[in-house]
Chain A
Amino acid sequence: AQTVTQSQPEMSVQEAETVTLSCTYDTSESDYYLFWYKQPPSRQMILVIRQEAYKQQNATENRFSVNFQKAAKSFSLKISDSQLGDAAMYFCAYRSPYSGGGADGLTFGKGTHLIIQP
């Protein structure tokens, strides 16, 4: 079974600064998908960014980018020019493309609580 580890329960960053959230995962598969979800106080789960393991290029979405290191099984999220609205829980998640047998859905890390200091 796959596992996802987020080693930083909480991070704090000054507004307009850059912060990196860490995520490592364990899998024996070579083909998979990785996601970062944001959960603000409203509780809604919002997709931030997605990475396909077969793509070497790191995904980017505006101020959000990832550093995907497949050999190291690492998938960190970098937030540039942090804004107050970025304050939330961030979850790293893994998905196998092979459905069934318990390999379906997303496997989540325990989350990192990001605080933005004004």
Chain B
Amino acid sequence: NAGVTQTPKFRVLKTGQSMTLLCAQDMNHEYMYWYRQDPGMGLRLIHYSVGEGTTAKGEVPDGYNVSRLKKQNFLLGLESAAPSQTSVYFCASSAYSGRVTGELFFGEGSRLTVL
């Protein structure tokens, strides 16, 4: 009954440090996404993946990298964290059956603070 799991849930970084957020889904979904949520801004797409080994940029990709080496995992990396990357990060996944029609299933979010 796990669905979409994100680790870690909370993290505090210093400017310039690096870190990786891990997203795992057990629903065999093709599509996976990383969003960031900032107050008054809604959720904005960082990167997404339409299948194992593929990634694409979303609306706000700068400063982030991603990898999808396994179908069930989608990693979000910050190589050199900046205070502007303080945010809540959400991973999501969705099924694909010839057409992109379904809702997204979200993880519980990861709160990242960059000092």
Asked whether A and B interact, the reply is yes
| A84 located at the interface, meaning its Cβ lies under 8 Å from any Cβ of chain B in the complex | no
Expressed in whole angstroms, the minimum distance between the Cβ of B91 and any Cβ of chain A is 11
Contacts of A50 in B (CB 8 A): 103
Q: How many A-B residue pairs have CB under 8 A?
A: 63
| A100 located at the interface, meaning its Cβ lies under 8 Å from any Cβ of chain B in the complex | yes
In this complex, how many residues of chain B approach chain A with their Cβ under 8 Å: the count is: 26
Contacts of B56 in A (CB 8 A): 100, 102, 104
Contacts of B41 in A (CB 8 A): 110
B17-25, B62-70, B73-81, B93-101: which lies at the A interface?
B93-101
| A108 located at the interface, meaning its Cβ lies under 8 Å from any Cβ of chain B in the complex | yes
A13-21, A62-70, A74-82, A91-99: which lies at the B interface?
A91-99
Are B42 and A43 in contact (CB-based, < 8 A)? no
Q: Known pairs A104-B48, A105-B35. 13 more at Cβ < 8 A?
A: A33-B101, A42-B108, A43-B88, A43-B108, A44-B106, A44-B109, A98-B100, A99-B31, A99-B96, A104-B33, A104-B100, A106-B104, A111-B42
Residues of A with Cβ closer than 8 Å to B?
4, 9, 33, 35, 42-45, 47, 50, 52, 91, 95-100, 102, 104-111
